[in-house]
Structure 1
Amino acid sequence: MMNHDQPSAKDQCGKIWSGIQLLKDTTENKHFLPTGLEGIDTLLGGGLRQGQLTEVTGPSSSGKTQVCLHSASLVAAKNMGVVMYLDTSNSFSASRVATIIDGSSDLFELGLDLQPKDMRLKSVMRSIICESVFDIFALFEVLHQLEVSLLNDKVNNGGSKMCLLIIDSISSLLAPIIGGKYPQGRSMMISVAMILKKLADEHNLSVLVTNHMVSAGNGAVKPALGESWRAVPHVRLVLSRECGSNICTATVLKHTLKASGRTAKFVVPS
């Protein structure tokens, strides 16, 4: 019987892995980028794994964008590498990034406590590239340009290479093309998936995307984009938020190394 919590010998991009390659990939090649949200980082064994695509899904106001902003802020503040943030709904906020950094318990460790607030924000924002992307065709263009730039080593900041790609939210770009208006919609969706996983694998990026929820019938909900997309992410988390509170719960729906169903609470600072 196949253990679905273990890496597949053949990933979604069609690449065949030997046992030695799988072991090396697990123990040597990949590192974790912290989200800055302790519960999520503990749940994932360290954070967002480089070389993998992580999906965060959940209903509206469950904390999906906050996970993206916290991840971008902390990775940039720690000088771990360049972050590209593809914003599909004007959700990116430099003032929110400033609030996250100012409220970080790692402020002293990062050496940011000695900087004036405006200098602190500028220092972090130098490592974050934010682009607005409002349809699937713009996404293809941005990803193509990114691939060329990475191959030519042009995405860097003072020698630090790109390490994190965020798309908030990918479902707002993909859902409109799989309803019927575009006959090739599902093929386009899988093309996006293959490009993202190729970028993650070949350039050792962590790819973080968000997805919304849709009705599953009988009052239940499920992640959008259907069965074709479900196989794409290496890791899937579903978020929920306690009513009138900033306490959220993350649940593992899928993970290459962890058991599904594990949960952890985390606080989204106000």
Structure 2
Amino acid sequence: MAPLNSLEKEYPLIDSNFQIFCASHAIYSVEDFLLHDIDALFNSATNHSSSQKLNQGIHQLLSIIDALQPPLLNGLQLIEDSQNKHVLSTGCQGIDALIGGGLRVGQLTELVGPSSSGKTQVCLMSASTVAKHNCSVIYLDTGNSFSPQRIAHFIGQSSDYISGNQADRRLLQNVLDRIICYPVFDVYQMFDLLHQLKNNLRSEAQIGKSDRHVQLLIVDSISSLITPILRGSGPQGHALMISAGFLLKQLAHEHNITVLVTNHVVGGDDGNSKPALGESWKSVPHVRLLLSRDCGGKVCNMSIIKHPAMASGRTATSIRLFV
């Protein structure tokens, strides 16, 4: 993200005095600012003679982050962009048929649903399908839900290395080798991994490396990382959420990969369930899909909440994800 000194011309509040104040806290860029304790920064600013102006500068930076969005496209560019996007199969015919063939490359797709509705199943099924076709998958696991045994099931192999034949063991090992799973337990660790991935993808693009290219990035679940920072953290939590969404969409668009995230549901004022993370987040995903399942049932339903090329409300029923 932009260094602070590059913002001064357009945003006068980000002047040399504000930059010196930020530098005293090891903040030299917008990214450094996001990773800092904003409440502590406000408290520190209060002790300065120019506290009012410093506070205004902090609010200015938060506004800049809030406004971060990918460049707008005109209608013709949107059509061309949509037509040029390939899809990755989820491994489930019912889901692929509902969303036009699969998960769209270059876009962020969100799976919304209550606990045990099948969100992780779709993530694992998609990961195994992509990895089986010799492409790499980055899987950020926030709840210890990644399961090699279920991966083995999805590719039609036994997870028992001893009883399986050599070909089966080789196939399973190759698939698991292509799924790079990181346990992630806070939003700052996620930012570190995403920036590391961005740097790696840029380096690979510069040297023309294409073998085992990352095709799918999964965050299961994004809401478990972001919800804690939204509770009582003031503007910092909101800014981190917007920045996370921007970074995920930037990775998808610039490096032509598919991003799949999961989100839980919360109770709305009208008594109905709704996706978590609030109004600001709902504009982030390109595609939002709602999963539901009867208690103890082995099939689930999926409906489209949002899709750039399809009407909301389309539903696929009796999708078998469970055995």
- TM-score band w.r.t. shorter chain: 0.7 to 0.9
Letter in 2 for 1:137: Y
Alpha-carbon distance in 1 for matches of 2:272, 2:112:
14
Secondary structure class of the residue paired with 2:288 = strand
Alpha-carbon distance in 2 for matches of 1:14, 1:94:
36
Q: Does the Cα contact within 8 Å between 1:167 and 1:208 map onto a contact in 2?
A: yes
Q: Does the Cα contact within 8 Å between 1:12 and 1:232 map onto a contact in 2?
A: no
Q: Does the Cα contact within 8 Å between 1:87 and 1:168 map onto a contact in 2?
A: yes
Instruction: Label 1:230 to 1:12 Cα distance change in 2 as closer, same or farther (>3 A).
Output: farther
Alpha-carbon distance in 2 for matches of 1:151, 1:27:
25
Count of paired positions:
250
Q: Does the Cα contact within 8 Å between 2:157 and 2:168 map onto a contact in 1?
A: no
Q: Does the Cα contact within 8 Å between 2:138 and 2:216 map onto a contact in 1?
A: yes
Question: In structure 1, what is the equivalent of residue 151 of structure 2?
Answer: 97
Question: In structure 2, what is the equivalent of residue 224 of structure 1?
Answer: 276
| Structure with larger Rg | 2
TM-score normalised by structure 1 residue count: 0.87
Residue 201 of structure 2 is aligned to residue 150 of structure 1: yes
Percent pairwise identity = 52
Alpha-carbon distance in 1 for matches of 2:146, 2:193:
17
Secondary structure class of the residue paired with 1:17 = coil
- CA deviations 1:36-55 (Å, max 9, x no partner) are 11111111001100010000
Residue 322 of structure 2 is aligned to residue 269 of structure 1: yes
Alpha-carbon distance in 1 for matches of 2:306, 2:157:
31
Residue 182 of structure 1: CA displacement?
5.4
Question: In structure 2, what is the equivalent of residue 129 of structure 1?
Answer: 180
Question: In structure 2, what is the equivalent of residue 26 of structure 1?
Answer: 82
Q: Determine which structure has the larger helix proportion and give its number.
A: 2
Residue 120 of structure 2 is aligned to residue 68 of structure 1: no
223, 231, 245: which one aligns with 1:171: 223
Secondary structure class of the residue paired with 2:180 = strand
- CA deviations 1:217-263 (Å, max 9, x no partner) are 34311000000001110000110012321110001000000000000
Question: In structure 2, what is the equivalent of residue 55 of structure 1?
Answer: 110
Q: Determine which structure has the larger strand proportion and give its number.
A: 1
Letter in 2 for 1:68: C
Letter in 2 for 1:23: I
Residue 302 of structure 2 is aligned to residue 250 of structure 1: yes
Which moved further from structure 2: 211-220 or 200-209? 211-220
Q: Does the Cα contact within 8 Å between 1:57 and 1:213 map onto a contact in 2?
A: yes
Residue 96 of structure 1: CA displacement?
1.1
Residue 18 of structure 1: CA displacement?
3.2
Question: In structure 1, what is the equivalent of residue 96 of structure 2?
Answer: 41
Give unmatched runs, 5+ long, in structure 2.
1-66, 159-163
Secondary structure class of the residue paired with 2:268 = strand
Alpha-carbon distance in 2 for matches of 1:169, 1:191:
16
CA RMSD of aligned residues (A): 2.3
Residue 215 of structure 2 is aligned to residue 160 of structure 1: no
54, 65, 71: which one aligns with 1:15: 71
Alpha-carbon distance in 2 for matches of 1:114, 1:35:
27
Alpha-carbon distance in 1 for matches of 2:235, 2:73:
33
Instruction: Label 1:195 to 1:242 Cα distance change in 2 as closer, same or farther (>3 A).
Output: same
TM-score normalised by structure 2 residue count: 0.73
Residue 115 of structure 1: CA displacement?
5.6
Give unmatched runs, 5+ long, in structure 1.
1-10, 105-112
- CA deviations 1:136-179 (Å, max 9, x no partner) are 1101100110110000018x998131110000000000000111
Letter in 1 for 2:243: S
